[in-house]
Amino acid sequence: MIEIIDIYKSFGDNKVLRGINLVIDTGETIVIIGRSGCGKSVLIKHIVGLLIPDSGNVKVQGQIVNEMNQKELYHIRKRFGFLFQGAALFDSMTVEENISLPLVESRNGYSSSEISKLVEEKLEMVNLPGAQNLKPAELSGGMKKRVGLARALITNPDYILYDEPTTGLDPIMSDSIDTLIKELTDKLNVTSVVVTHDMYSVKNVAHKVAMMHEGKIYFIGSQEKLINSDDKVIQEFIKRTEVKS
């Protein structure tokens, strides 16, 4: 379980998070939506201690992340997979080298044949079998996201954080990434947090939707409740994002 308890975060005069409260239960997929610049990325960076709140707490399985030292952070981060915005792959490395990076960094003591086996397994999971020796330049946008996803999965995480996983993809590609996220969530029983501005993703993957607005969680509930809401801010957001995508 992830608990975000009344967190505040400002950058200078920019008050980005103004009392965020959110509980994410084990095994659920929550989608976080909100206008560009409203603080979605800032919020999920707090979950793994990449940002520290000015006040409030972030707890993962009861442990307060914002009070952890480097060693404790390192351990908690091993339980997370990230697919951050841009899904940055290293151009000079092969797909296999990119995917195995978190394993190499965590010095888990795997042999190279064990690593190859794990990479092969994850590539199959994301429907890219045999892509080990390709370079990022040889991949389409959708394939790059899949490789990013395989990298996020390589340590068998309990939690996966996705920041705009379908941004920059065409609708068909987006749809197949959404399907994959949903399949993986069901199959691996992971807890997933998906940040998106894409209403189609909301419809495809969410168990629960949280909408951020003016530094707070403005709405939380099912996608049906969101779509059928007669709240003006929510309606405007939905209209805007559906026109764009």
Query: Which residues are at the interface with ligand ADP (CB under 6 A)?
Result: 11, 14, 16, 34, 36-42
Q: Which listed option, ligand ADP, Mg ion, none, makes contact with residue 39 (CB within 5 to 8 Å by class)?
A: ligand ADP
141-153 vs 171-188: helix axis angle to the nearest 10? 10
How far is Cα 99 from Cα 186, in angstroms, rounded to an integer? 22
How far is Cα 229 from Cα 19, in angstroms, rounded to an integer? 23
Nearer to ligand ADP, 136 or 148 (CB): 148
Nearer to ligand ADP, 39 or 142 (CB): 39
Stretch that binds Mg ion, among 33-41, 130-138, 205-213, 224-232 (CB under 5 A): 33-41
Q: Which listed option, Mg ion, ligand ADP, none, makes contact with residue 14 (CB within 5 to 8 Å by class)?
A: ligand ADP
Residue 42 CB, shortest distance to Mg ion, in Å, is 8
Would you count residue 201 as binding Mg ion (CB under 5 A)?
no
Which single residue is written with the structure tokens 């990013």? 148
Where are the alpha helices (H) located in the chain, listed in sequence order?
Answer: 40-47, 70-77, 95-105, 112-125, 141-153, 171-188, 199-205, 223-227, 232-244
What tokens does 140 get? Answer: 């389409």
Nearer to Mg ion, 115 or 211 (CB): 211
How far is Cα 222 from Cα 101, in angstroms, rounded to an integer? 36
Residue 108 CB, shortest distance to ligand ADP, in Å, is 30
Nearer to ligand ADP, 6 or 214 (CB): 214
Q: Is 182 helix (H, G, I), strand (E, B) or coil?
A: helix
Q: Which listed option, ligand ADP, Mg ion, none, makes contact with residue 171 (CB within 5 to 8 Å by class)?
A: none
Compute how many residues bind Mg ion; rule: CB under 5 A.
2
90: closest CA among 45, 148, 162, 140?
Answer: 148
How does strand 159-163 pair with strand 191-195? parallel
Stretch that binds Mg ion, among 8-16, 25-33, 37-45, 140-148 (CB under 5 A): 37-45
How far is Cα 205 from Cα 161, in angstroms, rounded to an integer? 13
Q: Which listed option, Mg ion, ligand ADP, none, makes contact with residue 11 (CB within 5 to 8 Å by class)?
A: ligand ADP
The region that residue 215 occupies, defined by phi over 0 for left and psi between -120 and 50 for alpha, beta otherwise, is left
Q: Which listed option, ligand ADP, Mg ion, none, makes contact with residue 36 (CB within 5 to 8 Å by class)?
A: ligand ADP
Nearer to Mg ion, 39 or 103 (CB): 39
Nearer to ligand ADP, 40 or 77 (CB): 40
Q: Which of 4, 29, 30, 41 binds Mg ion (CB under 5 A)?
A: 41
How far is Cα 68 from Cα 235, in angstroms, rounded to an integer? 40
